[in-house]
Amino acid sequence: MDHGGQNSTGKLVMVRHGESHGNVGKRLETRVPGPSLTERGTAQAARFGAAVAGSPRLFCSAALRARQTAEQIESVIGGPVIVLDGVYEVQAGNFEGVDTDVAHQAFHQTYQRWHSGELDLAVPGGEAGNDVLDRFLPVLEDLRTRYLTPGAGTDVVLVSHGMAMRLAAGAIGGVPTAFAASTRLDFTQTIELTPRYGPAAQFLGWGCTRWGHHVPPFGDIAT
């Protein structure tokens, strides 16, 4: 990245946490603090940190698996890491702690309908899509206005959670709806958003420049 140009602008790198014990057990564990990283998840986080270029500002969700992932990144790139409210995972409600196929299917069916525009639909006992966006998107806007203004030239890394990240990025990143709904993220994969500015530093919106292994143009359906 060019840090020297007056108009250079950093990007927002949202990172899914490393593998957790809840992931291994296939349990829907979304409440904070939630499960810790596995040994494999810790190694994934350390490898991600080793691949980070420059000295980005580092933030994370309050969930334990996100904090532990960020700590591993911090140990490589330096810190400090700052914990943010509002960027935790979609809350599973009545499905919390459940590992059955029926629960997973019902939870994900509701989530898919959010991507189709049914954002007022709620997970039984949990959140609606609008609830997730109402807490998540203001955090991204605050990070943009603080750290991603024209001329700042420094990236922001935010360790968060796959479903919440995809919903937020799908809402603001100009990504096709079907792509956002179908393209999951593996552990420590990223969604990268770059703010676009016009004359007089007018904010024009976000552009998505990476989604896991995919780069623009994004297809309607992930392959």
Q: Burial code of 123-151, b = ≥16 C-beta within 10 A, e = fewer? A: beebbbbebbbebbbebbeebbeebbebe
Q: What is the mean pLDDT of residues 46-62?
A: 95
Predicted confidence (pLDDT) at residue 7 exceeds the cutoff of 70: no
Q: Does any domain span residue 116?
A: no
Residue at 107 is within a domain: no
65-75 per-position pLDDT tens digit: 999 999 999 99
Confirm whether 196 is domain-assigned. Answer: yes
Q: Does 190 score more than 90 pLDDT?
A: yes
CB 13, CB 208: distance < 8 Å: no
Say what the pLDDT of residue 221 is.
Answer: 57
**Average of per-residue pLDDT across 140-154:** 94
Query: Residue 141's domain is classified under what CATH number?
Result: 3.40.50.1240
Which residues partner with 83 through β-bridges? 60
The per-residue pLDDT for 2 is: 35
Percent of the chain with pLDDT strictly greater than 90 = 89
Residue 197 lies in a domain: yes
Contacts of 22 (CB under 8 A, 6+ apart): 28, 29, 34, 35, 65
220 band by pLDDT with thresholds 50, 70 and 90 = low
- Is residue 5 in some structural domain? no
Give domain status of residue 223, yes or no.
Answer: no
- The answer to whether residues 90 and 167 touch, using CB atoms and an 8 Å cutoff, is yes
Residue 128 lies in a domain: no
Q: How many domains would you assign to the chain?
A: 1
Q: How confident is the model at residue 3 (pLDDT cuts 50, 70, 90)?
A: very low
Q: How many CA atoms lie within 13 A of 20 on its CB side?
A: 23
Residues 164/14, Cβ–Cβ less than 8 Å = no
Show the domain range for 26: 12-89+135-211
- pLDDT of 197: 95
Cα gap 68→170, rounded to integer Å: 26
Distance CA 55, CA 125 (A): 41
Q: Is residue 126 assigned to a domain?
A: no
Among the listed ranges 38-42, 49-53, 59-63, which one has the minimum average pLDDT value? 49-53
Q: Is the pLDDT of residue 5 over 70?
A: no
